[in-house]
Amino acid sequence: MILRYAYLFSASPIRLVELMYWPFVQLLMWGFLQIHLAENTSLFAQGAGLLIGSVLLWDILFRGKIGFSICFLEEMWARNLGLLLVSPLSANEFLASLSVMSVLRLLVGLIPVTILAKVIFGFDLLGLGLPLAAFFANLILTSWALAMFTSGVILRYGLGAEELSWGLGFVLLPLCCVYYPLEVLPGWLQPVALALPPTHVFEGMRMVLLEGVFDAAQMWRALGLNVIFIAAGYISFRLFLASARVSGSLSQIGE
Amino acid sequence: MNSSAANEIDDALARAGDGAAATPIAVRDLVKRYGQVTAVAGLTFTIAAGSVTALLGGNGAGKTTTIAMLLGLLTPTSGEVRVLGADMTRERSRVAHRINFESPYMDMPMRLTVRQNLSVYARLYGVRNVAERIGTLADEMQISPLLDRQNGKLSAGQKTRVSLAKALLNAPELLLLDEPTASLDPDTADWVRSHLKDYAAARGASILLASHNMAEVERLADRVLIMKTGRIVEDAPPPALLRKYRKKTLEAVFLQIVRGNDAHGTQQRHV
């Protein structure tokens, strides 16, 4: 299956440009805002790269999910999913290939933008060191969990539910405290935010950049939540798939 | 079929190994309901090894639903579907590499070349010597000049031949075909029918095809199952149906049945 997506990119190199385009635009916008704020507020002067770091980590979550979902949707758009589902490819193998592709697509977009962040704004994402690996792993796990859920919904309810694939990630944007600390949220909303793994990642990133401290316990909490999220995403995908086999929506995919 | 193709089929047969002698299709009391609508209302039939069986019926008769259940794409409401000995609701993965399917309503990715698409599916089906197998099939299906063209740039007839090549990649023991010669000109369609007949004979493969082309069915099928409102109303070889209905063509038989008359011209009751 990964070979199948590699062929797709070789047939349409413009897709590679698209993978880098939005992260680059975001980097520029938030990078220049960061410069402006750093000159005028002590918080941003203290935490150099706070906004750029948030942008880049948010992109890991968002692009990871979109990368998974786009590869899934490609099969729906191509009317190819029915042929795949009657082939020896198992649902688990299919999900594994989508997960690998989401990481590969993400890296294509992230690596050039990470280099540009260093060159243009002097922010070295790789300079985060070991914490970056923990941030990356937790964010990509959340992205897979969300993508499995939305792919399952689309499998069951068809391409009419495609909007969910694009929109669900944005629901997390205000709740996960990407650009501001948890305390900004009203008290009743904070437990909701803390139940989301990315909140711990963004809080952890701010702690590293502002205080130079890596809170490993926070990453373990994020990982624990991700285990629940991944299990829920996987189970929901399998249930939607089974439901689609009952409702007949799989056999209508090609027609 | 040339000797190299026959050898490849022998190789594929040796690879299949497990349970090769199982009945290709065994269906018992198969029912599929969507809410209050009954699409398939209690089918029971088997398909013999090496046979070519046609599944006929008007629109909404239940053919596509039946094929979807045989492929494991659809879960029956009740009843049993066994393909090559495997229960398709629970054990599909055990036999998926021994069957294949072609339908004009499903497609392979448009931006990939024919060779890339065949290569991906060959690997999914566990075919060994992928390049050699694609070369052999391309020669047989007369698609060699198309191998490096994008699938989206093929004519409908070319796509059908490519889809058939994909369906034959793993030299399947059971081939399920939905309108196999749709979009083909009469000459190419005739050539495809000959090829399928030769393939079934050389491989000892079983074919189940859904078709609205009665000439095709007369030419290919050893046996015809005619469905109406989710039930099998006729099950016989084509010559037996012609005799029973005193018609010269299968099309005339089909029209009499779908318009609701039995062999005596009276209103039909389901059997």
Could you give the angle at the alpha carbon of A251 between the alpha carbons of A15 and B29, nearest 5°?
A: 160
pLDDT in tens, A200-234: 999 999 898 888 888 999 999 999 999 999 999 99
The answer, yes or no, to whether residue A254 has pLDDT greater than 50, is: no
Model pLDDT for residues B128-164, shown as the tens digit of each residue = 999 999 999 999 888 999 999 999 999 888 898 999 9
Closest chain A residue to the Cα of B115, Cα to Cα: A7
- Confidence at residue A152, expressed as pLDDT on a 0 to 100 scale: 94
Residue B265 lies in a domain: no
The predicted pLDDT at position A112 comes to: 86
User: Which pLDDT value is given to residue A37?
Assistant: 65
Chain A residue whose CA is closest to B102: A83
DSSP for A1-65, please give it: -HHHHHHHHHH-THHHHHHHHHHHHHHHHHHHHHHHHHHH-HHHHHSTTHHHHHHHHHHHHHHHH
Q: Determine the pLDDT at residue A252.
A: 65
- Asked if B125's CB is within 8 angstroms of A254's CB, the reply is no
Output A42 or B129, whichever has higher pLDDT.
Answer: B129
- Residue B271 belongs to some domain of the structure: no
**Is there a contact between B125 and A87 if contact means CB atoms under 8 Å apart?**
yes
Binding-face residues of A in 17-36 toward B, CB within 8 A: none
How far is Cα B155 from Cα B146, in angstroms, rounded to an integer?
11
Q: Which of A63-72, A155-164, A207-216, B35-44 has the lowest mean pLDDT?
A: A155-164
A8 and chain B in contact, CB less than 8 A: yes
**Could you tell me if residue B269 is inside a domain?**
no
Range of the domain at B34: 3-258
Most confident region among A25-34, B15-24, B167-176 by mean pLDDT: B167-176
| Closest CA in chain B for residue A245 | B74
Mutate to test the interface with A, among B31, B101, B111 (most CBs of A within 10 A): B111
- Considering chain A, what is the average pLDDT of its residues? 85
Q: What is the pLDDT of residues B187-232, one digit of tens each?
A: 888 888 888 988 999 989 999 999 888 888 888 899 999 999 999 9
Distance CA B180, CA B104 (A): 8
| B170 neighbors B126 (Cβ within 8 angstroms) | yes
Of the pLDDT bands very low, low, confident and very high (cuts 50, 70, 90), residue A248 is confident
Which of A78, A83, A245 lies closest to B75 in CB terms? Answer: A245
Residue B168 lies inside a defined structural domain of this protein: yes
Share the mean pLDDT of chain B.
86
Q: Tell me the CATH number at B146.
A: 3.40.50.300
Distance CA A3, CA B213 (A): 37
Report which of A165, A151, A137, A96 is spatially closest to residue A226, judged by C-alpha positions. A137
Partners of residue A75 in chain B, C-beta under 8 Å = 109
The answer to whether the beta carbons of residues B229 and B270 sit under 8 Å apart is yes
Residue B17 is predicted with a pLDDT of 41
- Which pLDDT score is estimated for A45? 59
Q: Return the pLDDT at B263.
A: 59
C-alpha pair distances (Å), B236 with each of B54, B125, B178, B224: 10, 34, 20, 5
Q: Which of B67, B73, B150 to mutate to test the interface with A (most CBs of A within 10 A)?
A: B73
Q: Which two three-digit tokens encode residue B245?
A: 């209905």
Nearest to B111 among A11, A87, A248 (CB): A11
Q: Does A252 touch chain B (CB under 8 A)?
A: no
Over 80: is that where the pLDDT of A44 sits? no
Which among A8, A84, A86 is the nearest to B111, CB-wise? Answer: A8
Share of chain A above pLDDT 70, in %: 86
Question: Quick one: which of B109, B135, B143, B131 has its CA closest to A11?
Answer: B109
Q: What's the domain count of chain B?
A: 1
Return all residues near A147 (Cβ < 8 A) that are at least 6 apart.
Answer: A64, A65, A68, A69, A72, A98, A102, A165, A233
Chain B hits for A87, Cβ within 8 Å: 96, 121, 124-125
Whether residues B120 and A7 touch (CB distance < 8 A) is answered with yes
Confidence of residue B2 (pLDDT cuts 50, 70, 90): very low
pLDDT digits (tens, 9 = 90+) for A65-116: 999 999 999 898 888 999 999 999 999 999 999 999 999 999 988 888 888 8
Angle, alpha carbons A154-A196-A210 (nearest 5°): 130
Residue B195: count of CB within 10 angstroms of its CB:
17
Q: Where residue B21 falls among pLDDT bands split at 50, 70, 90?
A: low
The structure tokens listed for A121 are 């704004």
Asked whether residue A181 carries a pLDDT value surpassing 70, the answer given is yes
Taking an 8 Å Cβ-Cβ cutoff, which residues of chain B contact chain A?
34, 64-65, 68, 71-75, 93, 96-97, 99, 101, 103, 105-113, 116, 119-121, 123-126, 150, 166
pLDDT at A34 over 70: no
- Range from A11-20, A153-162, B143-152 that averages highest in pLDDT: B143-152
Residue A160 has pLDDT above 50, yes or no: yes
- The percent of residues in chain B predicted with pLDDT above 90, rounded, is 58
Mutation for B interface: A83, A90, A155, A156, most B CBs within 10 A: A83
CA-to-CA distance for B57 and B53, rounded, in angstroms?
Answer: 13
> What is each CA distance from B36 to B32, B33, B39, B80, in whole angstroms?
10, 7, 10, 21
The pLDDT of residue B190 is 85
Position B266 in a domain: no
- Identify the band that residue B9 occupies on the pLDDT scale cut at 50, 70 and 90: very low
A33 has pLDDT over 70: no
Which helix (H) or strand (E) segment holds residue B44: the answer is strand B37-47
The string of DSSP codes covering chain A is: -HHHHHHHHHH-THHHHHHHHHHHHHHHHHHHHHHHHHHH-HHHHHSTTHHHHHHHHHHHHHHHHHHHHHHHHHHHHTT-HHHHHHSS--HHHHHHHHHHHHHHHHHHHHHHHHHHHHHHH---GGGG-HHHHHHHHHHHHHHHHHHHHHHHHHHHH-GGGHHHHHHHHHHHHHHTTSSS-GGGS-GGGHHHHHTSHHHHHHHHHHHHHHH----HHHHHHHHHHHHHHHHHHHHHHHHHHHHHHHHTTTTTTT-
